[in-house]
């Protein structure tokens, strides 16, 4: 099975939604998918829940596709408490940030958004 890790960095909602759409598309087509939320995209953790794409977000969460939320970025953007409240996997393995090497070592192709 092919493995895809989508890393969302950008903070604009349309960019974040495109990352989510691609995560779900790969998942539905049988890929093993990991969503890593890094950089400014952590600012969308509150907004996405009540957005028109909230249902997509819930499906992705329920499917266990969110594998990492950057702790340092979430703390800086003021969304760490929200990430924790949503039960998202917080990662600080790389000097406070998500460690992408773990995904490379597991054979994931990494795509940046």
* Token pair in block for residue 88: 């998202």
Architecture of domain 3-112: 3-Layer(aba) Sandwich (3.40)
SS3 labels along the chain = CCEEEEEECCCCHHHHHHHHHHHHHHHHCCCEEEEEECHHHHHHHHHHHHCCCHHHHHHHHHCCCEEEEEHHHHHHHCCHHHHHHCCCCEECCECCECCCHHHHHCCCEEEEC
> Residues 96-110: pLDDT tens digits?
999 999 999 999 999
pLDDT at 1 over 90: no
Distances (CA, A) of 30 to 1, 17, 98: 8, 20, 25
Closest listed residue to residue 22, CA positions, set 9, 34, 11: 34
Q: Please report the pLDDT score of residue 66 as a whole number.
A: 98
pTM: 0.96
Q: How far apart are CA 76 and CA 61, in angstroms?
A: 23
> Residues 30-84: pLDDT tens digits?
999 999 999 999 999 999 999 999 999 999 999 999 999 999 999 999 999 999 9
* Token pair in block for residue 16: 């974040």
> Residue ranges per domain, the chain?
3-112
């Amino acid at each position: 099975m092919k493995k895809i890790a989508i890393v969302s960095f950008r903070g604009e909602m349309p960019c974040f939604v495109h990352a989510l759409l691609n995560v779900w598309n790969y998942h539905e087509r049988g890929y093993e998918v990991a969503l890593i939320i890094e950089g400014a995209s952590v600012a969308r953790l509150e907004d996405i829940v009540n957005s028109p794409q909230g249902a997509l977000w819930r499906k992705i969460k329920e499917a266990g596709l969110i594998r990492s939320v950057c702790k340092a970025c979430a703390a800086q953007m003021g969304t760490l408490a929200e990430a924790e409240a949503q039960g998202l996997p917080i990662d600080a393995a790389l000097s406070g940030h998500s460690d992408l090497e773990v995904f490379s070592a597991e054979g994931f192709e990494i795509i940046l958004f």
